[in-house]
Each structure stands twice: as structure tokens, then as C-alpha cells.
Structure 1
Amino acid sequence: MDLTAIILVVTFFALLLINVPISICIGLATLLALLMHMDFTPAATTIAQQLAGGLDSFALLAIPFFILSGLIMGQGGIAKRLIECAMALIGFLPGGLALVNVLSCMLFGAISGSAVAATSAIGSFMVPEMKKHGYSENFAAAVTATASTTGMLIPPSNILIIYAIASGGVSIAALFIAGYLPGILVGLALMTVCAVYSIKNKYPVTARLPLKIVIEKVLAAFPSLLLIFIVIGGIIGGVFTATEAGAIAVIYALILSVIVYKEISLAALPGILLKACETTAIVMLIIGASSAMSWLLSFTHIPQIVSDFFLTLSDNPIIILLLINLILILVGAFIDMTPAVLIFTPIFLPVAEQFGMSPIQFGIMIVLNLSIGLVSPPVGSVLFVSCAVAKTSLHKIIKPMIPLYIVMFLVLMLVTYVPAVSEFLPRLFGLIE
């Protein structure tokens, strides 16, 4: 292996192991590796230029808007109405509360664009409710964590915007539409496990609600669900860009939470704005640092080296794509999604394209793959949030997670080897040829 790559990898993981923030890990590792090729002053200048250049993208403006709209939605009474809607629709089925948990996380994750927010907002209500009806808190926490990751695939999704930039300009609209079917498949797979687990453990089934109440609950949640149709419909129809859609999402979320639902007071808005600024700053620093590392990888021709290495291993696409997935699963267990997408897309996308995979399909594959990392120890942020919400520990949640991991991996294999899973809807809407 090239000495530059060794220094980059060793420095990065050494800093990560001593709990240095991820953006600092990436930046320092990149700087030290670049010092192998130039003196300190030009190296530092180059890193600064690449960091700033990595943020010079109009598409990135969508991220702070979607972060802000997600925070407003999280505190605006949206979660409660989505849970009540899901309970009315499927709460009477076997394992009803677990199914409601999955569906609520899917809907809230799609609206907020944040797996952590979905875990916190939905889990804080659903986990105690499931425990009250006899479900294990460990199983409830496992379901909440895994179901929340579907929001990474079901748009609007910040990580799909980041992938679009990392891949060199793949259509955001096409990626958004491509994420629906895989996201729904993950949700259905998790629901299947929940139903089987609930029947096996004889968990109670809630009574079917009268049709009148079902309609009332659905109508109460409809304004929240309408955001998805406004954002996605506008992007597909060419009415506005993803960035403009983010701004519209903020305005809609404010109207809904402050005026319609009246769950957020005007006095609370400065705190929400401050939190949005803080989150945006963290995300943007990670993006900038990751862009600098991506430039270094390109400068040292590491993607080409990796591509040539994979091509010498085998000419069988099944083996190569499986190997890429296994590497990404390992990466996702240690590295957050944003830097992982920015760093590994330039490395693995050319390899995947050599074996006939489109950038759209690869984008959905890498996001689903890294979503599994969000709920995988030792670093999985969503897993730890879910444990905190359920007041349980990591080692207790792993056993009920195993069947959920398995079905998520099976959907990942479906996305990897069946292009239509990712490409059918974009083709249907004429977003790709």
C-alpha cells in the first residue's frame, strides 16, 4: 500500500479511537498525508482551499433548510399525529404496536430527514407504550433504531444530496425518487420481523378502531404528510430545485407548527434556529474536511489503484459488489454517513460502474449500506440514541437486533443485484433513460 494511504488511514483511526471529532480526524489525517508530497505552508493552504471549495455548491444550500424544517417538525407535534395515524391504520394487526413504531419512524424520518430525530421523537412515545403492553424494551429499542434509518432513503434526504455532489452531479430528483422503493422495502422487511416476533411471543393485539376515528386520525396527520408531496412533487415537476424545496419546507413547517398545530411558540423559535445553525456548522465542517480528503485521494491516484486492485481480484460482478458492500458495512460501523459517502464514493463508484452499476443504483446501495452502520456498534449514533430513549444498554439490544440486521442486509442485496429496485421509479417518471 502507498505510504500516503497508510499515513492517512492510521492517523484517521488513531484520532478516532481517542474521541477526536470526526471533522478534525479527517482534516489532520489529510494534512499529515499531504505533507508527504509538499511542505507545510503549501499543504495547509491546499487543505484550506479544498475545504472552502468543497462547500462552494448551490445544492448544499438545501441542507440547512432541511435541517431547520426537520427540527421544527420534531418539536411541532408532528410525531404525535403520525403515531396516531399509524395506530389507526395498522395498530390492530399482529404485533400492532411494533408495526406502528416502524411506520411512524418511516413517515417521520421521511418528513424530518433525520434518523436521530425520528428515533428520539417516535421512540420517546412508542418505546414506553410498547413496554406498557408487554413488549421487551430491548426489542422496542431495536425496532425504533432500525426503522428510523428508512428516512435516509425516503426523501427528502440530506445524505442523498451529499451523494449527488460526491458522485459528480447525479440528479437529486432521480435519487429522491429512487429511494422510495428501497426505503419502503426495508420498512416492510422490518414489519415482517416484528409480526413474526410478536406472534411468537404472544404480544397483545389492540382493538380495531371505528372507521370514523380512523378517518379523523388520518385527516389530522394529512397536513404533515402533505409536506412530502409538496417537496417531491415540486422537484419532479420542475417547479423548484432541491434547495428551493428546502426553503418551502421550512415555511410550511413553520405555518404548520406555529399557526395550525400551535405546538411551537414564537419565543421558542430562536432556540430552534440556534440549534439548526449548530447542526449545519458541524455538517458543513465535515463536508469541507471530507472534500479535502477526497481531493488528496484523487491527487495520489488512490481511487485508480483501488479500482485496478478490485479488477485483478475477480471479473465476477457478484463477488466484487459483495466485497464492496462488506467493506462499506465495516466502514459504516466506524465512520458517520456524511464523510463515508464523500470519501468512498469516488473510490468505489468507478469500480461499480465497471461492472455495469449505474450511479443511481450505487447511490441507493451506499446509503442503505451506511444506514446499517448507523445502527451498528461501536459508533452507530442512532443505536445509542435508541438505547438512551429505552433506558437500556448496548449489549442487551444486540440480540433482538440480529433478525433486523439480517432483513436489512437482504434488502441491501436486492438493491445491489436488481437494478430495477432503484431505477424503476426514476425511469417511470422520465428522470433517467
Structure 2
Amino acid sequence: MIIFGSILIICTLLLLGVSVHLAFGAVLAFLAVMGGHDVAGYLPTGHWRMDSVVLLAIPLFIIAGGIMERGKIAAPLVAMAELFIGHIKGGLSIAAVLASGVFGSIAGAANATLICIGSIMMPHLRKANYPRGLSAALLVCSSPLGLLIPPSTSHILYAWVAQQSVLRAFLSTIIPGIILVVLLIIVNQICLRKHKDIKLMKRPENFGLALKTRSIKAFPAMMMPAIILGGIYGGVMTPTEAAGVAVLYAVPIAIYVYRGMTWKQFRETMLHSGVTIGVVMAMIFMVLIVSRFLIFEDIPAIAEELIYSVSDDPIVILLMVNLVMILVGMLMDDISGLLLCTPLLLPIVQSVGMDPIHFAAVLGVNLGMANITPPTAPLLYLGARVTEVPVNEILKPTLLFIVFAWLPTLMLTTFIPQLALWVPNLLLG
């Protein structure tokens, strides 16, 4: 009864709009008062300790993402994409997806990607007569690419909780991320066929000169992912060190090269990032305590027994596990969902032979999709504010992208293990 009461409290508070860390805090109070549990005994210890160096990468990437968002570092990346494909029908939409992938790979946060790329691309899409509901939905559905294209803060947390290699967790989502980019573009192009009044950008008469000019301007921005990813995969830097380098590199680029912010605005950015970091770390702390409660009470074994009582077919089990992750993700953000699902579901998927790194990819796709799936759908409502398009106009095309892009990516990632394991095995042995 205590478990069901805890679940009821979480679901009720989240549906009422209470923040995640307060909802989980209420559960801890309920466990202490009604269940007689020693909540202090569930404090994160061992390899889950909150003073882990791995966790330091999360606030650093949040700061880097904030600087990129406000420092106009993404603008030259968008301009480069527009130069190559802006003259074809749907080219601006394709540029939006590609820019979201590149920016997300650096910032590692879906909300920063949506705010930055959405604010840059939406005025261009409106000016070119792209349907605003479809365009806003595409920007919303492309923003979680930062969870799939490394480095990703979510996968840093997964590797920490599941005691797996951070690099392998990063690499597991590269192919699923590419598949999702392709499917989003295809679905969008099909939806654009009935729109005949789209204006195409004129290709510059002196393409070579334009390419040279924009390449020079975009070079500092393009060097950022090259330094971060090259340092991590080249074995020169750990993800935490790469996050620190990203911050140090982004500051002078944003202030002196692109002049997107002043030192005063940098201070405001740091204050804003500090608030975000505080909320995220408090949320991680609260959810971790609840996760440890689940482990100490042997809830993963109970859940495994319950699922096997329904079916022992691996396909059915994996479908049920995916359904649980989707439902969890619909109620809370990706970090909270990851911290809750990893200890609960990892033993179950391992019992049917799924590799933990394979599960990292499945979890990444699931939680990315959950961020745009109603009823909670935090990115959907954020997208409505950023693009200034009503939610009811965004909802239908968003559901199309979920059904024909996100869900196929999830099914392929779940049932074809090599999509997640091939790149890690190729590069890391």
C-alpha cells in the first residue's frame, strides 16, 4: 500500500503542475510519516554520491548551453545550412533540423536547443510562408536531438547510475539520432507537398565567395563541437573536462567574436544558469533518494515478476518496458525519468539479454519522445512560447512526427541492438 500511495502522490502532484523535486520530496515525507521508513538511510551513497566528478559535467554543460544560447553562436551555423539548402522547397525546414542536431550536440539540452534554434529559424520560416504550425512542431520535435547526439547530460547520468562507460553511452545514440533526423525530414517534406506558396531563398550568384565568407564566420562556432567531441573520443579529455573547456571556449567566442553578449549579460547568463543548475541538482538529489528506496525495497524484482507473469516473450517484455518509460516520461522531465527508470527497468531488460549500453540508447529515444508527448510535454508548451504559435496548431503535426518519426526510431533501436552497439564496439572495441 505504501508503494501505491507513493505512486499516487507523484502522479497527482505532477498532473497538478507541482515541480518534480517538490513532488518527490512529498513522497519522501509520506514514506517517513506513514511508512515508518528511515528516509535518511536512502541518501545517495557509494557510487551514487552527489560529490562525483562525473556529475560536475552537468552544470558545466548547462553553463555552456546558456552562453551559446545568448551569445548568438548558433546563428552562423544556421546561415551555413541555409546557404546549401535554402533554395530548395523545404530547405529551411531541413536547415532547422540539422541546426538543432549540431547545436544540441554541443549544449546537450533540449530546452536550450529549442529556445536558440527556434528563435533564429521561426522568423525565417514565417517570412518564407512555411505553415507555422508544422514549422513550430518540427522545431519542437527536433530539439530533443541533443539527448541523442553526444555529448548528452542524460547519458552522463545514465552511465553514472548504471556504472557503465560514459563514452559507450554517448556513442550508443549516434545511429538512432541519424535515423531520427532522416525521418523528421522525410515526414516534414511529405507534409509540405500540399503547400504551394512557399518562397524559396535565392542562391547567391557568387556562391564561392558567399561560401568562403560564411565559412570564415562559422569557423569559430564549428570548432566548438570539434574540440569537445574530438577531445572526448580522442581520449584527451574526460566528459567533465570537455564541459569545462566548452565553457572557457564559449565565453570569448560569444563576447568578442560574435558579440552576442557583453560582460554584463554574461553575468546575467551565469545567474540564470545558476538557478537552472540549482533546480536540476535538487531534483537529482530528491529522485535519487526515491530510486534508492525502490532498490532497497526490492521493487525492481517485484516489477520483473509482475511483467513475467504477463508474458515471458522477450518482444512482449520489451514492449511493456517501453510503455512504462513512455508513461513515466509523459509525467516528468528526461533527467527525473532516467533516474527513476534506470534502476527499476535495467534488471528487467538484462534478464531478456539486452546490453546495458543498448538500453542507454532505448532510454534516450524514449525520454526524448516523452518530452514532446502530451499531457505534460514540456517542450511542446515551451515551443508554443518560443515560436508564438498556439499549442492547438502545433499539436496535430507534433503527433504526426511522433507516430511516423519518433516511434519508428524507438522500435528500430529497441529490436535491432546493433544500431546502438555497432559504433561503440567499432570505436572502443
TM-score range, shorter chain: over 0.9
Pick aligned residue for 1:189 from 162, 165, 183:
183
The residue number in structure 1 matching 2:164 is 170
Aligned residues: 425
Q: Secondary structure at the match of 1:57?
A: coil
Supply the distance in 2 between the matched residues of 1:419 and 1:222 (Cα, whole angstroms): 36
Supply the distance in 1 between the matched residues of 2:16 and 2:379 (Cα, whole angstroms): 20
Supply the distance in 1 between the matched residues of 2:225 and 2:394 (Cα, whole angstroms): 32
The residue number in structure 2 matching 1:419 is 417
Check conservation: 1:294, 1:343, Cα contact below 8 A. Answer: yes
Deviations 1:41-98 (A, max 9, x none): xx34335566996423210001111111111111111121111011012222331111
Check conservation: 1:27, 1:292, Cα contact below 8 A. Answer: no
Aligned pair 1:144/2:139, yes or no?
yes
Q: 1:291 to 1:415 in 2, by over 3 A?
A: same
Work out the percentage of aligned pairs sharing the same amino acid: 32
The root-mean-square deviation of aligned C-alpha atoms, in Å, is: 1.9
Supply the distance in 2 between the matched residues of 1:44 and 1:50 (Cα, whole angstroms): 13
Deviations 1:160-185 (A, max 9, x none): 11111221x11111111222221121
- Note the C-alpha offset of 1:35: 4.2
Check conservation: 2:103, 2:113, Cα contact below 8 A. Answer: yes
Pick aligned residue for 1:224 from 221, 225, 230:
221
Q: 1:324 to 1:131 in 2, by over 3 A?
A: same
The residue number in structure 2 matching 1:372 is 369
Supply the distance in 2 between the matched residues of 1:364 and 1:104 (Cα, whole angstroms): 22
Supply the distance in 1 between the matched residues of 2:234 and 2:92 (Cα, whole angstroms): 37
Aligned pair 1:98/2:93, yes or no?
yes
Supply the distance in 2 between the matched residues of 1:12 and 1:124 (Cα, whole angstroms): 34
Pick aligned residue for 2:64 from 65, 69, 79:
69
Pick aligned residue for 1:334 from 331, 341, 364:
331
Counterpart code for 2:336: P
Counterpart code for 1:80: A
Pick aligned residue for 2:310 from 296, 308, 313:
313
Q: Secondary structure at the match of 2:331?
A: coil
Equivalent positions of 1:32-51 (< 5 A) are: 32-38=30-36, 43-46=38-41
Supply the distance in 1 between the matched residues of 2:380 and 2:230 (Cα, whole angstroms): 32
Supply the distance in 1 between the matched residues of 2:23 and 2:329 (Cα, whole angstroms): 16
Counterpart code for 1:253: A
Counterpart code for 1:173: L
Supply the distance in 1 between the matched residues of 2:313 and 2:264 (Cα, whole angstroms): 60
Check conservation: 2:47, 2:160, Cα contact below 8 A. Answer: no
Aligned pair 1:153/2:151, yes or no?
no
Aligned pair 1:344/2:341, yes or no?
yes
The residue number in structure 1 matching 2:396 is 399
Supply the distance in 2 between the matched residues of 1:181 and 1:89 (Cα, whole angstroms): 24
Deviations 1:292-331 (A, max 9, x none): 0011101111111111222232222221111211221122
Structure 2 segments unaligned to the other structure (5+ residues): none
Supply the distance in 2 between the matched residues of 1:51 and 1:336 (Cα, whole angstroms): 25
Structure 1 segments unaligned to the other structure (5+ residues): none
- Note the C-alpha offset of 1:216: 2.8
Deviations 1:13-34 (A, max 9, x none): 2222332221010122133135
Equivalent positions of 1:237-316 (< 5 A) are: 237-316=234-313
Supply the distance in 2 between the matched residues of 1:298 and 1:415 (Cα, whole angstroms): 27
Counterpart code for 2:127: K
TM norm structure 2: 0.94
Range 298-307 or range 264-273, more displaced: 264-273
Supply the distance in 2 between the matched residues of 1:12 and 1:353 (Cα, whole angstroms): 27
Supply the distance in 1 between the matched residues of 2:179 and 2:41 (Cα, whole angstroms): 43
The residue number in structure 1 matching 2:130 is 135
TM norm structure 1: 0.93
Aligned pair 1:84/2:82, yes or no?
no
Q: Secondary structure at the match of 2:169?
A: helix
Pick aligned residue for 2:113 from 109, 118, 125:
118
Counterpart code for 1:67: I
The residue number in structure 1 matching 2:16 is 18
The residue number in structure 2 matching 1:108 is 103
The residue number in structure 2 matching 1:198 is 192
Counterpart code for 1:369: N
Check conservation: 1:66, 1:250, Cα contact below 8 A. Answer: yes
- Note the C-alpha offset of 1:101: 1.3
Counterpart code for 1:18: L
Check conservation: 2:87, 2:202, Cα contact below 8 A. Answer: yes
Check conservation: 2:31, 2:39, Cα contact below 8 A. Answer: no
- Note the C-alpha offset of 1:154: 0.8
